[in-house]
Structure 1
Amino acid sequence: MMIDIGLIRHSWLLVAPVAEKVTMHFYGRLFSEYPQIRELFPPAMDVQRDRLLKALTQVVLSLENGEPLGDYLGQLARDHRKYGVRPEHYPALGHCLVAAMRANAHGAWLPAYDEAWMSAYRYISEVMIQAAEQDAVHAPPSWIGTVVSHEMRTHDIAVINVEPDQPYPFRAGQYATLQTGQWPKVWRPYSIANAPRHDNRLSFHVRAVPGGWVSTALVRHTQPGDIVLIGPPRGMFSLNDARTPHLVFLAGGTGLAPLKALVEESAWSPERPSIDLFHGVRHSSEAYDMHDLRRLRAQHKRLRIIQAVSDEPEHWPRHTAVDALEYHRVIPDGDVYVCGSPEMVRHTTARLLAMGVRGERVHSEFSGEAPSFVPS
């Protein structure tokens, strides 16, 4: 299928400055023309109103990425089964998006733009529908998970272990979306903090975010025996991208979770890499996982752990994870994995590039991924 990326990008520039109006028009048209789609969304739309438009446009604008995007669309389609997305929903989204952009382009929208965008969405729909149909043969839309343990590690961080009702196939470094009984239809992503293991259990490090619906429910109102729903595994954060025998891991807060899973996986490798793990927290009381990390260090043999504390006046030196990297004169001569808040990842990546680390050697948890079509 021929898709004119140039036309798509040019037309998007017409409406990008009024993206909020496009979003409101899009949802109004979608829910009025296709009321059955409204049931896929949670009752309150304020948290996720803008995410769907961002997802739809980013995926189309990334169509030149070829095979990586195709793999991602397949993964996205498998994940969207948990929402109840059906084949007939895909063209509805594309139709309403094009109509919303056309209505807000101040008369500058051309018929050729319609065809370019719809051609792109027909392609996306075909890839995702086929992937979802193939996945339905051997996997459920979501897994029912039983909470087997819930341990408060700090005043706002809990380590939660969940046992899925069926085998849960994932790779170390991936994440899952969770739904709690308190918030039906509201899904939030959490990194899996362990590599696959024989008991099929998943560990999550969850910080209660102020105003966070799901995180607060998981940390404050969840106990052993409770049920959560688990979406299919997602993410491309893995040791498969590593090509060097020395790795540097930089974690901020609960960004430790996927890096811990990668350490666990590498401990089983006959040619395990040497790893310098820097875990940055604001206060020393937030170093919530030191017991498990020491256990991993004893098992791995080639793992060094350095705790960095940034905001505690009594602690010296006061460092972020990347500050500690420089302070300890560790040379990032191989692959570097970064995980934390978006701000932490941006700042750390910029510092690494300034040190001379090549961009392709810096891996972050959500790099190369587009958001989902149906908001999490």
Structure 2
Amino acid sequence: MEFEICLEPSGTCFKADESQNIVEAAKAHNVAIKHGCSSGSCGDCKGTILSGESEQGPFMPLLLSPTERAAGMAILCKLYPRSNMHLQAEVIPKNIWNAEIVGLRKLAWNVLELRLRPAKPYPYRTGQYARVAVPGHEDQWRSYSMATPPQDHGELVFHVRELPGGLFSQWLFYQAQCGNSITLGPSLGEFALHPDNDRPILCIAAGTGLAPIEAIIQESIDLGQNRPIHLFYGAKKQRDLYHLETLQQWTQQYVHLTVTPTISDAEDANWSGARRLLPSVAAKGHWQNHEVYLCGGPGMIEAAIDLLLSHDVPHEHIHFDAFAPNG
């Protein structure tokens, strides 16, 4: 059975089958509804149910606060219509930016630093991500977080991990060259530094989740803040870690920054540092007075949130960006 879905304030309407979530249905009708992961992990598709019946599927804990739930807010990529509906939801302007590849640099055996120079200014906030069209498959888009705060020279920096079968990462690793053009959509995401307090900062990053975490740390430093920052950075093997020299330089330059790299592979005999990301976080102290920033896969994020709540960290002090790779 099909239902009519109308979005406010744009007035955009489209049809949705009862088996389709709102984001799926919008995309099927070329409606650029705001969304990110499409898996209930990021919260970028938050909307408010104004009228109609629906069924809310499971999503990442803490995406909706009790106040938001009481106000009728929902995660639209997991919301299934059961009648005609009116929703308050953001429709993204169909702006695009053409950008030139100006840098490709190996950071680890399977991670590339990608530098782009947009043809016109690309506005974004520290911690946000860009939607990138896959060259040769312009109907396919991938999401990557900017790894630095906005730069005076306008360049965008990304950390891209190679994925077996990944359309974009395979193109980037084996075909892309400086001078190639890439199409970007508008910046998205609510993951950002909260500079309106002086609480110490705890950062937890897994894999290329380091990218927006580095940007947030840089912004805090650029703002002249000297509140303590402790970054826990995890990967599976030692060879998967990257930017360790950069992070070490930061700790020498900024005495309020501590970095603890960890690996999860118990058989990596050459590693003498900390092992297992979240147990290392738990062992280092209690975090109830900290502002917390998390970035990594949904499993790590959920486990980290459970750990932090057990350490009496208020949920409003926990900010996260969960990502699941597109194959």
TM-score bucket of the superposed structures, by smaller chain: 0.7 to 0.9
- Provide closer, same or farther for how the CA distance between residues 345 and 261 of structure 1 changes in structure 2, counting only shifts above 3 A: same
Of 307, 315, 321 in structure 2, the residue corresponding to residue 351 of structure 1 is 307
TM-score, normalised to structure 2, is 0.73
Q: Secondary structure of the equivalent of 2:261?
A: strand
1:300 Cα offset (Å): 3.6
For 1:22, the equivalent position in structure 2 comes to: 19
Find 1:189's aligned residue among 143, 146, 153.
143
- Is 1:321 aligned to residue 268 of structure 2? no
Identity of aligned residues (%): 24
2:203 corresponding residue in structure 1: 249
The aligned residue for residue 258 of structure 2 is 304
What is the identity, as a one-letter code, of the residue corresponding to 1:352?
L
> Which letter maps to 2:238?
S
Cα 1:243–1:289, aligned 2, differ >3 Å: closer, same or farther? same
Aligned to 1:59: 47
User: Does structure 2 conserve the Cα–Cα contact (< 8 Å) formed by 1:179 and 1:188?
Assistant: yes
**What CA deviation, in whole Å up to 9, does each residue of 1:75-125 have, x standing for no partner?**
xxxxxxxxxxxxxxxxxxxxxx86xx5xxxxxxxxxxx43xx1xx14x54x
CA contact (8 A) 2:127 2:146 kept: yes
Choose which of 214, 217, 222 in structure 2 pairs with 1:263.
Answer: 217
Distance in 2, matches of 1:200 and 1:243, equals 29
* Separation in structure 2 between the aligned mates of residue 306 and residue 318 of structure 1, nearest angstrom: 7
- Give the whole-Å Cα distance in 1 for the aligned partners of 2:119 and 2:260: 37
1:214 maps to which of 158, 168, 172: 168
Q: Is the 8 A contact 1:282 1:312 kept in 2?
A: no
Change (3 A) 1:69 1:265: farther
Query: Cα gap change, 1:177/1:346 in structure 2, threshold over 3 Å: closer, same or farther?
Result: same
**Whole-angstrom CA distance in 2 between matches of 1:293 and 1:280:** 13
SS at 1:222 equivalent? coil
2:99 aligns to what SS in structure 1?
strand
Distance 2:72 2:96 in 1: 23
Relative to its length, the structure with more strand (as a share) is 2
Is the 8 Å Cα contact of residues 134 and 142 (structure 2) preserved in structure 1? Answer: no
AA paired with 1:180?
Answer: V
SS in 1 for 2:139: coil
Write the distance in 2 (CA, Å) between the matches of 1:361 and 1:229.
Answer: 35
How far 1:60 sits from its partner (Å)? Answer: 4.9
TM-score (norm 1): 0.64
Q: 2:97 aligns with which of 143, 154, 162?
A: 143
Give the aligned partner of residue 341 of structure 1: 297
Give the structure, 1 or 2, with the largest relative contact order (CA under 8 Å, sep 6 or more): 1
- C-alpha change, 1:224 and 1:284, in structure 2 (3 Å) is same
Q: 1:51 to 1:227 in 2, by over 3 A?
A: same
Residue 155 (structure 1) shift: 2.5
1:353 alignment partner AA: L
CA RMSD of aligned residues (A): 4.0
Q: Distance in 2 between matches of 1:350 and 1:51?
A: 20
1:365 aligns to 2:321 (yes or no)? yes
Deviations 1:183-229 (A, max 9, x none): 21211110100011111111101111222212222233322111111
Whether contact under 8 Å (1:173, 1:191) holds in the other structure is: yes
- The aligned counterpart of 1:291 is 245
For the Cα contact (< 8 Å) 1:158–1:219, is it kept in 2?
Answer: yes
Determine helix, strand or coil for the equivalent of 1:324.
helix
Code of the residue aligned with 2:168 in structure 1: it is V
Q: CA deviation at 1:312?
A: 3.9
1:152 to 106, 112, 120: 106
The secondary structure found in structure 2 opposite 1:338 is strand
The Cα offsets for residues 36-58 of structure 1, whole Å up to 9 and x where unpaired, read as x5799xxxxxxx9x879xx9x96
8 Å CA contact 1:183, 1:214 repeated in 2: no
Structure 1: which 5+ runs fail to align? 1-18, 32-36, 41-47, 74-96, 102-112, 133-139, 368-374
> Paired residue for 1:178, among 132, 135, 145?
132
What secondary structure does 1:187 align onto?
Answer: strand
